Chains A and B, each alone.
Chain A
Amino acid sequence: MEHSFIDYITGQAMLPPRGSEFAGEVDLVFIGIYWLSIILFLAITIPTVYFAWRYKFKAGRVTPHQTHNTTLEIMWSVGPLIICVGLFFWGLDGWMKYAVAPGDSMEVVVTGKQWLWQFEYPDGSRTVNDLHVPINKPVKLTMTSEDVLHDLFVPDMRVKVDVIPGRYSMIWFTPNVLGPHTFTCAEYCGKDHSGMKGTLTVESDADFAKFMATGGTEWEEYRDRNDWAGWGKLQYERKGCNSCHSVDGTSSKGPTWKGLFSKNESFTDGSTGIADAKYLEQSMLQPNAKVVKGFEPIMPTFQGLLRNHEIKGLQAYIESLK
């Protein structure tokens, strides 16, 4: 954004674009203090320079012996005190808003680690360094760190908070400007501290719904690398498959996935079949239709919990476990 010289004088150019109503309130306080500071700065600088010039040394000039003036001392103690009390309450007003998120906020769980930000949406889908939110709806970021201190700072929203291992911290905002906004890490965290940044995309409800339908952008990296097995391995860990299915051949609550693909299986209903991709998909969505002999029908359905590209990934992962 280009700023004119006048914008620097008024203080507007000191601040980044505003992305929320809260940003406007903070800016009002900022501009207020800015002008107060300019007035006080002039009140100090003008006498400093003027006295140095007006009372420049002249031989023989006798200076008055003014030792103190109690009225003046009280004035310049109490005056600033009143200003300070006013400023404290003005700042407190914004702080109270910052500290409490509205009850109907959409919650995104944020994990900071050296040196990336991971976002988890209400439906469990995830993104890295890429936060999407709908416009005009409050968003609450519940955050923790996996290693050292970080700090999520969204300049356009005028919010930041430290992200601390072993604790949860929170910021929230209601974006009202579409488009990309940057966010950064503001607490020093080591080598790539300055690279720990990303984009906050504020989009319309329709665009956000479209984004959510694909479950975030993380899979695009795997798709671009054509690494469907890797994508499936991630789902294996994330969706909880690993609590019942091993991948090393040992038997657990469910059959192992090692060597499962294309295997000839016998089922509890007496039939047999090939464990192909179609069978695997059926086992995820209707797990009790065909249960392998020797196992209990205890697996919950993943209908609605797995997206197509996640199923495709799991199939590829199982196929890779020879």
Chain B
Amino acid sequence: MSVSALSRAPSSRRVLLIALSALLIALVLGMEQLAPLFRALFPDQDPAMYQRESFLNLTLAHLALVLVSSLISVSVGVAAGLFVTRPAGREFEPLVSTLAAIGQTFPPAAVLAIVVPIAGFGFVPTLVALVLYGLLPVVQNTVAGLGTVPSQTLEAARGNGMSAWQILWRIELPLAMRVIIAGVRVSVIINIGTATIGSTVGAKTLGTPIIAGLVGNNLPYVIQGAVLVGLLAIVTDLAFERLEQRFSFGASGAAS
């Protein structure tokens, strides 16, 4: 019974993932088709449809920002997590954890305020804010994930003649991968949402119609941007959920 329950649950999540992805793509490409709907709902708004930029361009710019910032967060975060779990770097663990925590405590808006005078407007300050903000979950989960590898497993790996590199690549990273990916998932989801505020300093994102709507008191703009950001976050989350399941080896069940 438990077997069938296990095999059924992911398949319904899969259907959900496919359906929402389809909806997201349809909205990105065909938001204009909904113009009559928005006009009917908001008869007093004159342009009831954001048209200064295509939603496709906004979405691609948004994705590029999230992708680049996440790539940097993940590489730096995983590297830092690996470093502080090696014998050579163990004493730096408290320092790295604190730095990552500071990065997350800083509100992204404050980071923008600091970075804009240095780096100017647009893509770069937003990127810096997102990288700092997304670092903590990656570092934390890398350290935690590597910590879940049982010491007997490591001893067996050493006792069977694996070198430190072989133990890292063949044993530690695969076993920690599920927890590390969970950290990346949190980091990416946060960044998808947070990237919208980059539009306050001139970065082109899905936040652009939202900010324009807020400034110009145009609720349809806000809805059009927010729906796409929300959908993007949900679809990404579901995709990561599937990715995490690939790295489940029943290790947690066997530990009991």
Is A bound to B? no
Chain B contacts to A: CB under 8 angstroms = none
